[in-house]
Amino acid sequence: MVEKEEQVKRTAANVEQPQQAIVKQQPKQEGREGISSSVEYGAHYTKLDMVEQSLTKDQIQDLENLKLQRDCANFLSAAQIYLWSNCLLRQPLKPDDIKKRLLGHWGTCPGINLVYGHCNYLIRKHDDLSMFFILGPGHGAPAVIANLYISGELTEYYPQYSMTETGVSLLIKDFSRHGGFPSHVNPMLPGTIHEGGELGYALGVAYGSVLNNPDLVVTVLVGDGESETGPTATAWHAHKFIDPRESGAVIPIVHLNGFKIASPTIFGTMSDKNLIHLFIGYGYQPRIVGNDLSRIDLDMMDAMEWCLSEIRKIQHAARQGKPIFKPRWPMIIMKTPKGWTGIKELHGKRIEGNNLSHQVPAPRVREDREEFEKLEQWLRSYNIDALFDEKGAIRQVIRDTCPRGTQRMGANKHIMPKFKPLNLPDIMKYQVSVDSKSRGKNTLSATQQGGNYLAEVFEKNMTRFKIFSPDELESNKLNGVFKTTHRNYQWWEETANRGGGVIEILSEHTCQALMQGYLLTGRFGLFPSYEAFLGIVTTMTTQYAKFMKLCKEISWRNPLPSFNYIESSTLWRQEHNGFSHQNPGFINTLINMKSEIVRVYLPPDANCLVSTLNHCLNSKNYINLIVSSKNETASWLSMDEAIEHCRAGASIWKWAGTEDVNSEPDVVLVGIGNETTTEVIAAAQLLKKHIPEMKVRVVNVTDLMILEVESKHPHGLTDTMFHTLFTETKPCIINFHGYPSAVKQLLFGRRHTHRFYVSGYIEEGTTTTPFKMLTSNKASRFDVAIQAIQMTCAFNPRIASVAVSKIAYFQHVIRLHDEYCLKYNIDPPELTEIMNPSLIDSHKISQLSRAQL
């Protein structure tokens, strides 16, 4: 009999075979197909019968109270969408009681309320359970607001929403109202770490939040419409990076209500058997809940208990030193009708269980009598007097279904972590030796030196720092981190059950989502990527920036660790990948965001990169973008100079220019970025040799945002400080790493901007040599020198007298280089000594090219 019951249990849970404490994969675990739906469901309902028969009186009462709590949450959800006054329907409903603007999404709310109530029940049942909830269908905010009000967190943070008729009426009135709560989850709601304005990110964020949080279980509700998004599709693999020894767990619940806004969902049109097979293929133990709505609370209660039991089996085995290889984490497919418990039918059309319940089921309720009557019937169907007492407070029996204190999901300790800085290394240990005689002579990969620094960051912060990378860590030469850490991937024997600080998955979306969850629960991270493909997460970054902006405006929100990106494999050195890998547009995306959130850094050498990394990892409440080359480049500044330079954001490099200290220069050459700065320094040397009478100032900018006026960005220089660098009237040529439009946008608002010329990437390039990339985009040293001559000869007769011949000469050298490059597929040797421009002899380049041609 015991054996038979155990078999029923396994079948109902769709487990291919019971979990075993094994280190090596057992072949049988991989090959078995899923069980047919008929056998599956027959066994499942036999088990439900057994569970139902074994219920105690207290458990029966708990289920009744859960239903009452859900009625309360459903009523509050619907009322928020519709009601302006008479919010507890103490009098007959009138058209003037209805909001004039009906905003919100009803269809998903009943399912959210079901899950939220059962999470509360599970927490109350297990005193040691630390759990919070992440909502995927972001526009289900009415349901989350309702549950936070019932459990009390909302009133604690917003006392105006008291447990009175006045308080609940104000809450209902303030939904989707200016100054109130929007229709999607956002930082204004306690317990929220996920911005619900865009679908697809909830699952990845949930998995990121449990990394290195061994006591945490996160329930995430994923909409079946949301499941059609690319980020969600890939995030189903994120459980393969969860080491149960050191991390918590996620209970994913797919909310299968069958419809999105205007049509059926893909999951909604799949058979139960196919859904089971799909999630077994992903590596989960799936269980379907809701095929019998009359017993859905019993079904859900048993399913949630089963999920927690399976999680603890997996974690216990790992923490006892007998980890399960490729553990199958539990998940739930929950089936409820769209708009469940709402209006059944309207104007001859089905509403409940149809896409018409997605947003506002009765949109013309103030003018249409049928809709008005159906709305009042719907709201009163929840038996409002059983939910609220005579003072308008939610009845105690409902409030008692919720946990207390910090066990409530909106008050979980992981949601509101206090900012604790990382223990960072002494950056002087990672300095590259540079002095006045060796500038430009020591060449190395800046990111490689950055990787060495990050290795010690890991060593000092093993459980508080991670790198999330789309399989590009070694390509970007940050592999020095593997001196102290390793990759975390649980489905490969070499990396399973060993923790690991580096998560690599070829999905920028999943990297972004994992890192968001990790940061928003108080830890630190770095997201390295190829420059061309960081734009994949543009909308995710935008949503996160909006989340951070609101967090900074909410007094009870604690500071957050900064989100740190590092772009490498940049466009200027894509000679093997070509045109497709040339895209610096992520810079443009960021500079359009709120100035108090965004920082963009382009450190010109290894010492500046290490200093910048140290600063960004120590910062809070920012989105930091660091752009750095992985190729060997020159070292220009000592570490002391680098620290001073990075602190200022920009400085004059007197050693690189030829200006007279007693007068203003004829021209200012500005480098922003690795390769483009090298070309500026080389251009200054060319001008010194060929037009010694020209006075040249060289400026490097490492903090891009100093270019913007002070009133627009906190790092923006005052006009006085701006002019000390760039003068007030002299020609200024900026050789920029990315699209010239980014710099032009930042300079808007400065005086005399007609004197600025900005060169940069102009969408020219192919599989070519490094220097050909520069000449193709008019950003080479010769192009900078030509532009300097053209802009200065107008007001300097001595330069004008030689301008035509010198410009012709530099243009000739560019043509010779093109011919040389075409014939030999390399740059001339003198040009490959790009890191030591003081040695460059333009005549020698010309002669060499002619001789070899």
Task: Please state the separation of Cα 182 from the chain's center in Å.
Answer: 21
pLDDT at 32 over 60: no
Q: Distance (Å, rounded) from C-alpha 151 to C-alpha 189?
A: 13
Query: H or E element: which one contains 601?
Result: strand 598-601
Of the candidate ranges 34-38, 439-443, 815-819, the one whose mean pLDDT is the lowest: 34-38
Q: Where are the domains of the chain?
A: 2-13+61-240+254-411, 427-633, 650-852
The reply to whether 2-13+61-240+254-411 and 650-852 are identical in fold is yes
Q: Which CATH class is domain 650-852?
A: alpha beta
Task: Please state the separation of Cα 578 from the chain's center in Å.
Answer: 28
Q: Distance (Å, rounded) from C-alpha 325 to C-alpha 315?
A: 12
pLDDT at 93 over 70: yes
Among 517, 122, 437, which residue's Cα sits nearest to residue 303?
Answer: 122
Q: Distance (Å, rounded) from C-alpha 258 to C-alpha 53?
A: 31
Residues 462-484: what's their mean pLDDT? 93
The string of DSSP codes covering 347-363 is TTEE-TTSGGGSS-SST
Instruction: Provide the pLDDT for residue 771.
Output: 86
The string of DSSP codes covering 258-307 is SB-SSSB-TGGGS-HHHHHHHHHHHTEEEEEE-SSGGGHHHHHHHHHHHH
The set of residues, in sequence order, having a beta carbon less than 8 Å from that of 53 and lying 6+ positions away, is none
What value does the mean pLDDT of the chain take?
Answer: 89
Instruction: Pick the more confident residue, 16 or 486.
Output: 486
Instruction: Pick the more confident residue, 376 or 711.
Output: 376
Q: How many helices (H) and strands (E) does the chain have?
A: 29, 20
Residue 604's φ and ψ, nearest 5 degrees, are -85, -10
Q: Does residue 381 contact residue 341 with C-beta atoms inside 8 Å? A: yes
Instruction: Provide the pLDDT for residue 44.
Output: 58
Among 784, 649, 656, 777, which residue's Cα sits nearest to residue 724?
Answer: 649
**pLDDT tens, position by position, 615-672:** 999 999 999 999 999 988 899 999 999 999 999 999 999 999 998 877 899 999 999 9
Q: Does residue 254 contact residue 290 with C-beta atoms inside 8 Å? A: no
Instruction: Provide the pLDDT for residue 45.
Output: 58
**pLDDT tens, position by position, 42-75:** 455 567 788 888 888 998 999 999 999 999 999 9
Task: Please state the separation of Cα 155 from the chain's center in Å.
Answer: 30
Instruction: Pick the more confident residue, 842 or 601.
Output: 601
Q: Distance (Å, rounded) from C-alpha 310 to C-alpha 564?
A: 35
- In whole angstroms, how far apart are CA 532 and each of 5, 572, 674, 795? 56, 11, 16, 41
**Strands 130-135, 249-256: parallel, antiparallel or unpaired by DSSP?**
unpaired
Instruction: Provide the pLDDT for residue 832.
Output: 55
Would you say the C-alpha torsion 604, 605, 609, 612 has a positive or negative sign? negative
Would you say the C-alpha torsion 802, 804, 805, 807 has a positive or negative sign? positive
Among left, alpha and beta (phi > 0; psi -120 to 50; other), residue 290 is: left
Q: Does domain 427-633 have CATH number 3.40.50.970?
A: yes
3-state helix/strand/coil string of 531-563: HHHHHHHHHHHHHHHHHHHHHHHCCCCCCCECE
**pLDDT tens, position by position, 354-397:** 999 999 999 999 999 999 999 999 999 999 999 999 999 999 99
Amino acid at 321: G
Residues 748-757: what's their mean pLDDT? 91
Among 297, 291, 312, 280, which residue's Cα sits nearest to residue 13?
Answer: 280
Query: H or E element: which one contains 790?
Result: helix 781-792
Using DSSP's 3-state secondary structure scheme, residue 736 falls into: strand
Residues 692-709: what's their mean pLDDT? 95
Among 789, 815, 792, 794, which residue's Cα sits nearest to residue 804?
Answer: 789
- When pLDDT is cut at 50, 70 and 90, the band that residue 845 belongs to is very low
Q: How many residues does the chain have?
A: 853
The string of DSSP codes covering 184-239 is S--TTSTT--S-TTSTT-HHHHHHHHHTT-TTEEEEEEEETTGGGSHHHHHHTTGG
Q: Distance (Å, rounded) from C-alpha 4 to C-alpha 567?
A: 57
Residue 451: how many CB atoms within 10 A of its CB? 24
Query: H or E element: which one contains 672?
Result: strand 667-672
- When pLDDT is cut at 50, 70 and 90, the band that residue 34 belongs to is very low
- In whole angstroms, how far apart are CA 478 and each of 65, 283, 445, 579? 55, 31, 10, 24
Amino acid at 543: Q
Instruction: Provide the pLDDT for residue 570.
Output: 84
Q: Does residue 468 contact residue 525 with C-beta atoms inside 8 Å? A: yes
pLDDT at 31 over 90: no
Q: Which CATH class is domain 2-13+61-240+254-411?
A: alpha beta
